[in-house]
Amino acid sequence: MNTFRKRLNFKLSVLVIVMLMVALLGPTSVQAQASSITLKFTDSFPFSFLNECTGEFVSGVVSLKSTIHETIDASGGFHFHFHDVFRGTAVGETSGIKYVGPQTDHESFHVSSSGALEDTFTLNFRFISQGSADNILTHILFHVTITPNGVVTSEIDNLTDTCRG
């Protein structure tokens, strides 16, 4: 399993734990009025992973623009929307092939005042070579709906990972 997938699995695990904490520890009384907040931030950081399309390690730098919007509705429900845009550049450590990599993530997470939970997460990752090497194309769709009693009534977990030249 490559580093990208390990980080994604870790992120999804942490997200599920946070969602459950919000659902279990959130307010149970009705709120008088709705309130919302939007946070935006940017960052950049180095990364490295095994490109499973070529079998070589790729290293580079990625920049991130993120928006988080949270609303607490008048009934006491929580609604979160996360949107991340990544732009990366990298070089194959053996071949010297250059890559550019846009990625977008979006998540909508809702917890009703009764405790029902719905979460949808999508990720689109494109790592495009500036040469003849295969491109990495990844799409992830995760969705879960959970009743106030903790019963999962809907679950989708799709991952497609393609090497395409």
pLDDT at 165: 80
Separation CA 118–CA 32 (nearest Å): 23
Spell out a b/e string for 32-62, using b for 16 or more CB atoms within 10 Å of the CB, else e.
eeeeeeeeeeeeeeebebebebbeebbebeb
pLDDT at 152: 95
Whose CA is closest to 31, among 94, 96, 77, 70? 77
Asked whether 86 and 3 are in contact (CB, 8 A), the reply is no
pLDDT at 31: 43
Average confidence (pLDDT) per 10 residues, the chain, 165 residues: 49 50 49 83 94 92 96 92 96 94 95 95 94 90 96 95 90
Q: Which two tokens stand for residue 15?
A: 């997200």
pLDDT at 13: 53
Asked whether 89 and 101 are in contact (CB, 8 A), the reply is yes
Asked whether 82 and 107 are in contact (CB, 8 A), the reply is yes
For the chain, the domains span 3-164
